């Protein structure tokens, strides 16, 4: 789900680009999947088939 190039484009502090390690991308992928799974669970618990911002 994560596009490494997009993460690298946005990895900045005070407009200075930072390097992004492979393990950061891997960990970010896990975090995003977990967030999506939780949001899907919440949507279903509320009898919806659409995941919405409020599910975050």
8 belongs to a structural domain: yes
pTM for the model stands at 0.82
Instruction: Give the integer Cα–Cα distance in Å for 49 and 56.
Output: 15
The pLDDT value recorded for residue 37 is 98
Please indicate, yes or no, if residue 46 is contained in any of the structural domains: yes
Residue 33 lies in a domain: yes
pLDDT for the residue numbered 11: 97
Half-sphere exposure of 47 (CA within 13 A, CB side): 0
Look at residue 42 and tell me if it is in a domain.
yes
In a domain, 43, yes or no: yes
Rounded CA-CA distance 25/3 in Å is 9
Question: Per residue of the chain (56 residues), what is the pLDDT tens digit?
Answer: 899 999 999 999 999 999 999 999 999 999 999 999 999 999 999 999 999 999 99
Asked if the structure places residue 23 within a domain, the reply is yes
Instruction: Tell me how many degrees the CA angle 51-54-55 measures, rounded to the nearest 5.
Output: 50
In a domain, 56, yes or no: no
Contacts for 19 with CB less than 8 Å, ≥ 6 apart: 11
How many structural domains is the chain composed of? 1
Determine the pLDDT at residue 26. 96
């Amino acid at each position: 789900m994560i596009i490494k190039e997009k993460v690298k484009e946005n990895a900045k502090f005070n407009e200075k680009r930072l390097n992004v390690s492979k393990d950061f991308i891997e960990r970010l992928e896990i975090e995003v999947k977990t967030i999506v799974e939780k949001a899907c669970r919440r949507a279903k618990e509320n009898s919806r088939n659409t995941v919405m911002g409020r599910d975050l």
